[in-house]
Amino acid sequence: MQFPIDRRTAFGGMAGAALAYGASSATRGQTPESPGPARPVRTPADRVAAKLGERPSVRDKGAKGDGVAMDGAAIQDALQAYDNVWVPPGIYMIDIPLIIPSYRVLAFSSDAVFCPAHDDMAIFHTGEVSYASRILAPRIDGRGKRNVTAFDLRGFRHRAEIQHADILECARGIVLRELCWDTMIHMPWIRQTTNPIIIANGSNAVDIIHPGIDGFDVGIKIQNGPQYPTTSTRVWGGYVQNGRHGIVDEGCYGTVIDGTYFEGIEDADIVLARSIRPNLSRTQHYVDKGRTAIRMAGTDGATVIDPLMTSGSRSIGLYDIDNASRNVTRFESMTGAGVNQPLGNVGASGTLVREEGGVFAPVLAPARGAVRYERQEGRWRRSNGQMSVALDLHWSGAQAGGALAIAGLPASALLPSAPLPALTPAIVQGGAPSGAAGPSFARLGQDGVVRFFTLAEGREQPVAVGASGSAAVTLACLF
């Protein structure tokens, strides 16, 4: 079947199609003559990136961030409405406590700050419980308001996080008040705040990672509550400086403090009061004021591993441990002049494992002739009733004859009591000393002199010193 088409109809149809194509091309920035490349197909990654770029903001609910408007209600609306909320730059006046719902992410711009509008308020708090929420890079400035708490949280738990908080001039910084479990406080920076961090009343498995705390009464306070014990608070690294007490544990279980640096503390860096099985590892205590680095009162089962206190004006010393503390195990390295001195009061509490060591320049004893030393290397180490000495001595120009004996071990290496003669022969490294007629060995005497012997016809004979020679030996003894 044929349909007759006149010229007007045909021309109108072609013109309409051309106009339609031109409009479509113009919409894409193209011309009919040069249609351009085809539009690329968006990948799933492109769509995810685009979606993340559309995260909602507190401004979407009416927050102003101008430092004047009361933005609390608008920010609370955003927290209730959105899973992932962005806080753009601005100064946000908070006039009501902000409740953190479960499974929320609130992320701050580096130029966004929350300020309290009133005295006696908390900026953030929780209802009964808040699961797995994350507050990222919050900035909170007390701005002269009194009795302000930045975070006052109950039941903030199960992968809940506060990351990179910047808190200034508050009465309290981050308070985990009750039953906060599996919670991480990552790199908080808290300044000029009376109580920067408080962990209390059954808040368990809390990690405080690399804190930066400056200007306070008690830097980190860990408390049992009237209802629930507080267990396994762990402080990893960071610094606590310029306050009355650094970290105070009041009767909690299994507190760990690992690698944290203390400076400018007026009384005690770490206070363990009736604590159960705390563990301190590699804490560092810069001494310029204060009474003691580590204080224990009625503590049971504490372990202290390798603390470092530099010499200074601590009126008591590294430790102040009372006689009511039990089962305290200590290990401290005493290397370096003045390090960990004075030791302080260790109480009657328990096991002492102590390591000391140092270097010295060994010499022939007594020196004979114009002795020249090509090498003088000596090291000593004492730990838990055992002592080891390693020396490597090369000489020339000595007067031959007499027994080979090497001195130079410092008197401090022989304290608190002189070592007894070695119970087993030393291991002679690099062969027998010059002048030895057969297999040789060495002993460390109570006077701190290493003497060399050889076996001849089943009897010990002193090794004679040679005009030139060498002796390299490592020996161990009990004291």
pLDDT for the residue numbered 419: 54
Kindly state the helix (H) or strand (E) to which residue 223 belongs, with its residue range: strand 212-223
Report in angstroms the alpha-carbon separations of 31 from 14, 22, 25, 39.
17, 7, 5, 15
Count CB atoms within 10 A of the CB of residue 120: 11
pLDDT for the residue numbered 386: 77
The predicted-structure confidence for 70-123, as pLDDT tens digits, reads as follows 999 999 999 999 999 999 999 999 999 999 999 999 999 999 999 999 999 999
Amino acid at 116: P
The predicted-structure confidence for 338-374, as pLDDT tens digits, reads as follows 788 888 999 876 666 667 788 999 999 887 778 999 9
- Check residue 413 and report its DSSP letter: G
pLDDT for the residue numbered 252: 97
What is the spatial distance between Cα 101 and Cα 80, in angstroms, rounded to a whole number? 7
pLDDT for the residue numbered 9: 38
User: The pTM is what?
Assistant: 0.72
Report in angstroms the alpha-carbon separations of 16 from 7, 19, 21, 23.
14, 5, 9, 10
pLDDT for the residue numbered 12: 43
What is the spatial distance between Cα 375 and Cα 394, in angstroms, rounded to a whole number? 5
The predicted-structure confidence for 420-470, as pLDDT tens digits, reads as follows 554 444 444 444 566 566 667 888 887 888 888 887 777 888 888 888 888
Low-confidence ranges of the chain (pLDDT < 70): 1-42, 44-54, 334-337, 349-354, 384, 415-439, 478-479
pLDDT for the residue numbered 445: 80
What is the spatial distance between Cα 324 and Cα 79, in angstroms, rounded to a whole number? 50
pLDDT for the residue numbered 63: 97
